[in-house]
Structure 1
């Protein structure tokens, strides 16, 4: 037997992720997506796998080759799987017969296709595609001529971190006949239309859109019924909030959805809403339940995770969904008649995917825990919450020779005597009586949540001999609406106090921490807070700031979300320079003495690289120890889904900086 060891940065190439399980209509089998990394090409590969529940046979791989195959969905009769693949160089829809044979390409669109949704009779697929206002799905692909042209900008929302510079494309809805391949374009115009689901009678599609004329200052997203025959939109929500994840009850009486009315802007808890089709009444079912619906867990490993949204029982009397609560994502059941919410699975961990079969009261869930990387499980919806049967073991052979550190929960009194929760991860090979350096990790968002999921970066640090402390300061999800909203207008205030009190509490509780060897790191908001910390205390001997904010004044105009995010979070705009500067870490750069490594992606449009450049130049001008590392062609998502070699390089830079300075 090989000698056991901890996680290493190069292990990224060996680890596998499974996601998006989809149970067959008869409940006897399921299909899922498995993502791996091809080290030779330095690219991700995603393939569909099939497995039955009636025997213990191994999963069967259904797609092969290079590229990504994802978004599987069963035909109503269970004979076919529709999915999306980029095997032709562009995302298109494909159809696979479950009895075998090659996948058949359904769409050949110049604009590509995504998000397939079956019609109730199984004859058509609805899907999304992106088009310019002067183009249709019937236009042939133009031969690309590579030339440099000016980009005309007339909208404030002209770029996005995931999509780059906007080229005038709008997301539209179309249909394809699965036998003939005939196409029908249902929507057009200068607005985006998101596709959700088909009505049981086949007459309507539930879609989402913002038809506001001036979208630069609009942050709503309404739900509509799209009459397929008339191609007309029928309003469902009232233009006062943001709604998505829509699903139709099997009997056709209700639309269920997630949403909120922006009471606290982007810090508002999403809730469950029901729209009664006949009375046209929209009600919030969880208005008195202080838990955000959906998955707000911070992770750095899972690939291809898809929110299951709201999943109805066969009798349309209730539904299942995921909620984020105190460091876990749990499964709950909502009762339509009583409005009650009942826990179904609250045994700890990160549920990041789910498919149910109401008739047999079974669910297949995608689950991660700190020492259980990524697997699928069979859950009884009517049994004990802890009655799980493991279905996959995709990293089992790898983990035979690897030891993972198991975090311990911690709690303490934070700012304003609020309870703050988190976790302490001891270094591997821990020995009583020995002192160890500590790294404080700070999540992004800030409206997100650390919790009981696998964190590759944390395990790497533990393997290198570091204790790792990670907590959920005010602004984090999972601890109530008041807590998540508390950070707005107070960046660098109560959140900073929470983090410093977390370190104080850890030093009091754990005598193995060397108080003279403390490190701190974080990304995005966590990068902002890292910058803030080193400008307000010298207790940390090394720091790594990632994809960070250093100057709210310039951030307002250069980030893809700058102008509205700054107004929502700092509660000031470009006319209030004093407030923006007061909350900017750059304002306190002369107080920085901590060696600071600055990691940033060249094409990060969320926190543009000029934020890193300003901080680096200021520190160098002041003679402080610092280094700037620029990651080419990457965006804000480098740590989670960037090019594998650069993800590994990022991890190595972090570890090396702490080894050099701690």
Structure 2
């Protein structure tokens, strides 16, 4: 067994030199209120010259828990320059630089008579003092704009919104989202050929999808009628950006601004079983778009055209119906159409792609043994080089923006601290540019995170982490943290929801284990959970928890609870019968309780079917029942807190009701927390505070 220890307040000598003053002895422990009101740094945007960066920071009022987003500006080429708060962008969202030097953003447009305000595109110029000048409305559509993408020359703009597929213009208010509402009552009417009837947290609107239209942009105004990227009715019907999680990365312009590349999946009766996202190309003539990845019936996504116009990079999976397959970087020659699998021999899954300005390299991020580093890929050879942006402490690198002069802008976060903005120059150590939350974190009592590894199921190497208060005295109760996915990881990254630091700060040792099925350890390790939900993962958790106790004698294994969400919540239900005497209490957040009901209630059928061998429940019920907690209730005995969201359509809330009812019937101490306005996650500030307070009280009841 080996270990690597890292203090949250002192990450390295490099970080120490840049960080705010360390917290004095006796600094307050982090509270739920601190987590919820901690400023959140968003996605940065740079101007064309790479001399300015604009970054959003979301803040939460600690009195009323209302969130608002402001923008900050910083020079990248000036010595000693600092962040300047932008003024004059009130109500703005999704602000970013255009190549013309203007900042474009979304905000409420001028109200039309008798109508509600709609979200429209605006622009403004930013002075060196951060003041926005010349603010003006760019678009005036009849419907709200959900997002936009500027062409490289800022002479065209792509916009998208939920629009009826047979609508020829950007928005038909009388038809958009109405086909499934025939009246005269309030009933939604669906047909089997419609495919999804609900997705993630929203009911579907057959006949209406998120559609992209391209317009000319001149003199600060949208011009002309616009061209639909999806072409005439009958060619492509599908959401762009993809739902529920697609964003700006799904819509990109070619280097010359004459073509649009976008991601979409056909919306039909097969969509709930299909992971076949494709990359489409529109020449914006009004004709049908071309499916560039039609030969691959698995996922193709993250289109990234090279600045020189020669290539289109993207990532592709190979197995249809499998959402956690390895994402291999592909390179398409836009002249010949030849496609090369660049990273076929690299056993990691690329999660983002960005070209360097000279088109010489691709910068990708990928999970790799508890970290998410950046990698440089040579498009000529496919050689992959891991970048050491934060020497010895990469943690979670994201939002990479390659700049001229061998510079790389990026964000970094960790278990220790939320995201901050950094700039790397060549081989020199990175420089932290922001202080969104660093000073606030430094004023709190630190935690320490230790990595460990052990021989898990099938004698495979399995990794885990222990997070605890840095200066704690005496023995600490233990919390076993079980991640969801199940193809995921409790890696070294900040979370606004399941946060090891805030939990450890309540006086616990938080133990997480990246069991079989976790990401960042090669595709075979990811695949190993298929048809084995309650097998190797539970064995890893048992062995990992024992390894943590052996590693750190301060952990009191006799006082332990376990908690998890989604698949982690399923594991709480499974532990009830298969590890029944180990824990004082459990916390099950939106976990699977009954496999048969789950198989027919969840919306993304590809997921539940792949996890159980690729067949529907009625085709192979034994595959589902083998790992079904609902069949083993007779052994349930551990007190459990059940949390659910009524808008959760991934693991619908009756699953949680079933678990709670089973506990009631067994006379096992239990509590139920229901959020009527949350989905699979708890996102609202006040709800998050209630979640943390309830969980903390439940843990303390059994452990303190």
Note the 1:608-627 alignment, pairs <5 A.
Answer: 608-627=652-671
**Corresponding position of 1:303:** none
**1:198-238: per-residue Cα shift (whole Å, max 9, x none)?**
12222211122234764334320111221113533223212
**Corresponding position of 1:121:** 153
**Corresponding position of 2:401:** 355
CA 1:65–1:121: 2 relative to 1, 3 Å:
closer
* Equivalent in 103, 117, 120 of residue 135 of structure 2: 103
**1:231-264: per-residue Cα shift (whole Å, max 9, x none)?**
3322321242211111111111100112212268
CA contact (8 A) 2:88 2:133 kept: no
CA contact (8 A) 1:75 1:81 kept: yes
Q: 1:360 is paired with a residue of what secondary structure?
A: coil
Q: 1:275: Cα distance to partner?
A: 0.5
Cα distance in structure 2, aligned partners of 1:565 and 1:412: 29
Cα distance in structure 2, aligned partners of 1:202 and 1:192: 22
CA 1:163–1:92: 2 relative to 1, 3 Å:
farther
**1:454-498: per-residue Cα shift (whole Å, max 9, x none)?**
346322221211111012111110000000010011000000100
CA 1:166–1:64: 2 relative to 1, 3 Å:
farther
* Equivalent in 361, 378, 381 of residue 338 of structure 1: 381
Cα distance in structure 1, aligned partners of 2:642 and 2:381: 53
**Corresponding position of 1:273:** 330
**1:35-67: per-residue Cα shift (whole Å, max 9, x none)?**
112345543322322111214343233356775
CA contact (8 A) 1:73 1:116 kept: no
**Corresponding position of 1:447:** 487
Cα distance in structure 2, aligned partners of 1:168 and 1:399: 48
Cα distance in structure 1, aligned partners of 2:227 and 2:628: 48
**Corresponding position of 1:375:** 420
Cα distance in structure 1, aligned partners of 2:291 and 2:567: 36
* Equivalent in 220, 238, 243 of residue 191 of structure 1: 238
Cα distance in structure 2, aligned partners of 1:87 and 1:10: 34
CA 1:556–1:498: 2 relative to 1, 3 Å:
same
Matched, 1:557 2:585: no
* Equivalent in 94, 100, 105 of residue 83 of structure 1: 105
Q: Which runs of 5+ in 2 are unaligned?
A: 1-23, 111-116, 242-249
* Equivalent in 332, 336, 343 of residue 286 of structure 1: 343
**Corresponding position of 1:203:** 258
Note the 1:230-269 alignment, pairs <5 A.
Answer: 230-237=286-293, 238-262=295-319, 265-269=322-326
Q: 1:86: Cα distance to partner?
A: 5.8
TM-score by structure 2 length? 0.85
TM-score by structure 1 length? 0.91
Q: Which runs of 5+ in 1 are unaligned?
A: 295-308
Note the 1:279-428 alignment, pairs <5 A.
Answer: 279-294=336-351, 309-345=352-388, 347=391, 348-357=394-403, 359-380=404-425, 382-384=426-428, 387-428=429-470
Q: 1:501 is paired with a residue of what secondary structure?
A: helix
Cα distance in structure 2, aligned partners of 1:87 and 1:12: 34
Comparing 88-97 with 569-578, greater Cα deviation is found at 88-97
Cα distance in structure 2, aligned partners of 1:321 and 1:12: 29
**Corresponding position of 2:114:** none
Cα distance in structure 1, aligned partners of 2:564 and 2:47: 41
**1:568-596: per-residue Cα shift (whole Å, max 9, x none)?**
01224221333322211122222111110
CA 1:521–1:210: 2 relative to 1, 3 Å:
same
Cα distance in structure 2, aligned partners of 1:624 and 1:66: 52
**Corresponding position of 2:641:** 597
**Corresponding position of 1:228:** 284
**Corresponding position of 2:120:** 92
**Corresponding position of 2:164:** 132
**Corresponding position of 1:306:** none
CA contact (8 A) 2:264 2:280 kept: yes
